[in-house]
Amino acid sequence: MAPRYHTVIVGSGPAGLSAAARAAHYDNETGSTQPTHILLESAPVPAKTIQDYQKGKFVMAEPSALNLRSDCRFGASSREHILDNWQQDIATQKINIRYGANVNAIIGSKGDFTLSLGNGDTILAEHVVLAIGLQGNPRPLGVPGDNASIVQYTLEDPDEYKNETIFVVGAGDSAIENALALARQNTVYIVNRRDEFSRAKEGNLNAILNAINNPKTNLECFYQTNIKELLAPADDTKKYTLVLNTPEGEKAIQCDRVIARLGGVPPRGFVEKCGINFSSAAADASPELTGQYETSVPGMYVVGSLAGYPLIKQAMNQGYDVIEYILGHDIKPADYPLLTFQFALLPYRRDADDILRLFQQRIPMFSQLNALAFRELILESNIWVAYEDGPAYQEAVEISARVSQEASLQTPAPRTGKLLKMGDPLFLQGEYTNTFYTIVEGEVYLESNDDPGQRTTLRRGEFVGESSLISGRPRDTNAYVGKDCILVETPRRTMLKLMNTNEPVKAGIDWIFIVRAIQKHFAPKVEPKSLRHIADQVELKVYRAGETLFNQGEEGDCLYLVRRGSVSLSRQYEGKDSVVSQLQADQLVGEIALMGDPIRRETARANVLTETIVIYRESFLALIALDPSRVEQLQQLASARAITLTTMETQRESGQLMSFLMDKGLGEATNAMVIHQDLCIGCDNCETACAETHQGVSRLKRAEGSSFGKLHIPVACRHCEHPYCMKDCPPDAIHRAASGEVFIDDKCIGCGNCERNCPYDAIKLAYPAPEKPSLWQWMLFGKGPGPGEELAYKASDKAKEAGKKAVKCDACIGSKQGPACVNACPTGAAARISPDDFIELIAKQ
């Protein structure tokens, strides 16, 4: 007769082991003579995924703000130590575990499940907890040649490999840890299809960036790169060739081994046979779950990696909680206190889990996320609540003060709700902010400075902020909150991570971006709903640096709206290309072909990785028909641009100067310093003023840099649209002010990642400068250098103990007088410019 249990747990990873330990706790507490639970593991050992970690791997205990809730031990330690502890816990907790038990099928319903095992045995259960991981279903490379013998999906012992050229494909923790371990005695390339390691734990992020930027380490990263194919050996070296699509074009590199760490995909076939529904048809979608981990099959639960929570501590907490839920105990998740702080300012008093459900119901874009993924997104976001001025607002002010005080007593301090007053701006046109807002309740009003009488109202379930999130450009509108408005503000990094891992969310944001972009440029008086059919006809295209959008002499049938990046236009002159214009995100390229002469008069190339919205002739004509009032403005724009391009073409040196500016990266600058060499007398007042303003450390190197004719570009921060320095800053110490300045705050840990990431040598590490004596001390007692005199900069022992920190130009942020370097120039030679000033600058030269 088949054995029967109250709870059967399938899978002995962190979640399953923790669940079984909790069930064993109650068996031990009640003195049950027979276990009411059983833990089924197909492998001969527990925690097979952890067993497969590379030897000596240091396992982190993230997230740090979350407390562990489990009858099994876990803390940051080595793989071996953790496994030893768990093996002991299985014995001491008297966990009823059966190894070699491969579950082939589960049928039935709550109170009456039948599990069929691979050896023909059956087990009966009242409740089933699926805690199976994803490592048994690794995501394949999915390119020609990926079945070659040199491709592998796990790495047990990195010390087995020596003096090889190895590619590690992936950007998660496993890929990073494999690459770091292999780089000790091999040449390693890590391939990241994104431009940053957005999914890595902080410790791994720090380690991989340090290794990539350390010239003594044989590790290099290919960012924004995809694998094209793997070619079999073509010569006597017997080495395979991996072909990469990089931002600079196609590259082919011989290698000995390819290790793909692209994560796993759910064993969907097995799970769906159990009757469980998934959130979408996407291969990496998670099962539909309630807040208590119950699936669409009553009595069957899913926890751990399959639920979308790969972190060990989170999975163990889920395993503990799911047994409590099954037993009917009223228990709140471990992250519940964090949510109560975030929701404290809401105008209604509900349980945090009820509020989560309400929020998700009211935001359609997030409806396909399972409850756990949505919970994680909220925990990483800010909750904004707007009240009309009056008693309710004053009460909210008092609550905010009290909650902030309570939160400050905790380490680390949790997020708290944010307070707004009706009519307050969320952001203003021209600001360099890039967070993403979704509307849970109330309204948000959008108004443009370019058309003050035109107002757009966004309501519950809609979102705003997608343009700056994607383009990196300043906000293109003003956004104000209405009465009783409740918003979720999600950081850029969290949204990018979500878009990278959830295709429906990405598709939804892309689609709204397109609708609003074509409305802004072609039909501002037309309601967005009337543009949907046109938005479905346009095309999103991505161009790598140097790739051509169109060539001079071709017949054009479309125009391009630059969504992200920049494009240069050049014309052939005596067999040479001469750059005649530079176009940024949110500008049109090639529109003249649809409004006059269809023959392209220029060649358009991407300066950096560039995303465009391609609008074909038929769609363009449909847009013009919807809003004929826009025709005149578009014609004026096209005419003005044609005159500018023709003028630039007739001035050969101007085109060469524009090419020089593009080559030196000013196409992505928003605030770059330039010096007119005929006016510069070499006094270095600019450097002295910079040092005086920044505690004795100048952030400018006037004499260094590049020159063309009369124009000199010194070494100084350009405040790039997509700052390289801001990418992968471990303590998140680099920010962009709403006014555009990129600056470093006190959280800098001196890791040097920003210094190495900056391609313009505009950041350096320096010890804190000694305090400069005051003017009166200099005048009366002769202490220290006087105004304009060089500070004798020598780091003190205390400064050396504190360590170096990153310093860079912050454009004298907050100064009413503006940048000190420009103000101190006695001849007017120094200026700070953006790409919008290029044409005027070139004309003056």
Structure confidence by residue, pLDDT tens digits, 436-462: 999 999 999 999 887 777 788 999 999
Q: Which of 478, 501, 524 is the last residue of a domain?
A: 501
Residue 28 in this model has a pLDDT that exceeds 60: yes
Asked if residue 527 belongs to a domain, the reply is no
Asked if residue 221 belongs to a domain, the reply is yes
Bridge partners for 444 per DSSP: 458, 481
Structure confidence at residue 19 (pLDDT): 96
276 and 231 in a single domain? The answer is: no
Contact 132, 306 (CB under 8 A): yes
130 and 246 in a single domain? The answer is: no
Structure confidence at residue 135 (pLDDT): 64
Structure confidence at residue 284 (pLDDT): 66
As a whole number of Å, the end-to-end CA separation of the chain is 94
Q: Which of 615, 650, 685 is the last residue of a domain?
A: 650
What's the rounded Cα separation, in Å, for the pair 561 and 623?
A: 14
Contact 66, 83 (CB under 8 A): no
pTM for the whole structure: 0.68
452 and 586 in a single domain? The answer is: no
288 and 360 in a single domain? The answer is: no
- The region of weakest confidence among 101-115, 509-523, 617-631, 782-796 is 782-796
Task: Read off the pLDDT of each residue in 188-204 and give the average, rounded to a whole number.
Answer: 81
Residue 112 in this model has a pLDDT that exceeds 50: yes
Six-digit token string for 369: 């996320």
Contact 612, 563 (CB under 8 A): yes
Per-residue confidence band for 775, with pLDDT thresholds at 50, 70 and 90: very low
Q: Which residues contact 780 (CB under 8 A, 6 or more apart)?
A: none
Bridge partners for 808 per DSSP: 763
Task: Read off the pLDDT of each residue in 598-604 and give the average, rounded to a whole number.
Answer: 90
Burial state string for 466-491 with b = 16 or more CB within 10 A and e = fewer than 16: bbbbbbbbbbbbbbbbbeebbbbbbb
Residue 522 in this model has a pLDDT that exceeds 70: yes
345 and 372 in a single domain? The answer is: yes
The most distant pair of C-alpha atoms in the chain lies apart, rounded to whole Å, by 101
Q: What is the CATH number of the domain that holds 598?
A: 2.60.120.10
Task: Read off the pLDDT of each residue in 783-788 and give the average, rounded to a whole number.
Answer: 51
437 and 405 in a single domain? The answer is: yes
Query: 123-134, pLDDT tens digit by residue?
Result: 999 999 999 877
Total Cβ atoms within 10 A of residue 410: 12
Q: What is the CATH number of the domain that holds 210?
A: 3.50.50.60
- What's the per-residue H, E or C state across 369-424? CCHHHHHHHHHCCEEEEEECCCHHHHHHHHHHHHHHHHHHCCCCCCCCCEEEECCC
Task: Read off the pLDDT of each residue in 221-241 and give the average, rounded to a whole number.
Answer: 87
What's the rounded Cα separation, in Å, for the pair 496 and 822?
A: 37
Structure confidence at residue 125 (pLDDT): 95
Asked if residue 510 belongs to a domain, the reply is no
Helix (H/G/I), strand (E/B), else coil: 714: strand
Residue 653 in this model has a pLDDT that exceeds 80: no
Q: Select the more confidently predicted residue: 326 or 803.
A: 326
Task: Read off the pLDDT of each residue in 109-116 and give the average, rounded to a whole number.
Answer: 94
Residue keyed to tokens 């003056």: 844
Structure confidence at residue 71 (pLDDT): 95
Listed residue (416, 423, 344) closest to 388, CA to CA: 423
Q: Which of 280, 297, 326 is the last residue of a domain?
A: 326
Asked if residue 523 belongs to a domain, the reply is no
Residues of the chain with pLDDT > 70, as a percent, come to 91
Q: Residue 774: CA atoms inside 13 Å, Cβ hemisphere, count? A: 3
Q: Which residues contact 405 (CB under 8 A, 6 or more apart)?
A: none
Amino acid (one-letter) located at 274: C
Average pLDDT, the chain: 84
- Cα–Cα–Cα angle for 416, 420, 425, nearest 5°? 125
Q: Select the more confidently predicted residue: 572 or 379.
A: 379
Listed residue (505, 504, 509) closest to 468, CA to CA: 509
Per-residue confidence band for 562, with pLDDT thresholds at 50, 70 and 90: very high
171 and 29 in a single domain? The answer is: no
Per-residue confidence band for 771, with pLDDT thresholds at 50, 70 and 90: low
31 and 108 in a single domain? The answer is: yes
Residue 642 in this model has a pLDDT that exceeds 60: yes
Task: Read off the pLDDT of each residue in 183-200 and give the average, rounded to a whole number.
Answer: 86
Structure confidence at residue 788 (pLDDT): 46
Structure confidence at residue 22 (pLDDT): 97
Residue 231 in this model has a pLDDT that exceeds 60: yes
320 and 348 in a single domain? The answer is: no
162 and 120 in a single domain? The answer is: no
Residue 779 in this model has a pLDDT that exceeds 70: no
Per the structure, the complete domain to which residue 460 belongs is given by 336-501
Asked if residue 655 belongs to a domain, the reply is no
678 and 556 in a single domain? The answer is: no
Task: Give how many domains the chain has, as a whole number.
Answer: 5
Burial state string for 325-351 with b = 16 or more CB within 10 A and e = fewer than 16: bbeeeeeebbbeebbbbbbbbbeeeee
698 and 811 in a single domain? The answer is: yes
Residue 794 in this model has a pLDDT that exceeds 80: no
- The region of weakest confidence among 218-222, 449-453, 684-688 is 449-453
Task: Read off the pLDDT of each residue in 398-408 and give the average, rounded to a whole number.
Answer: 90
What's the rounded Cα separation, in Å, for the pair 51 and 27?
A: 28
Residue 790 in this model has a pLDDT that exceeds 70: no
What's the rounded Cα separation, in Å, for the pair 662 and 838?
A: 10
Structure confidence at residue 121 (pLDDT): 93
Asked if residue 509 belongs to a domain, the reply is no
What's the rounded Cα separation, in Å, for the pair 359 and 648?
A: 54
Asked if residue 616 belongs to a domain, the reply is yes
Asked if residue 141 belongs to a domain, the reply is no
Residue 535 in this model has a pLDDT that exceeds 60: yes
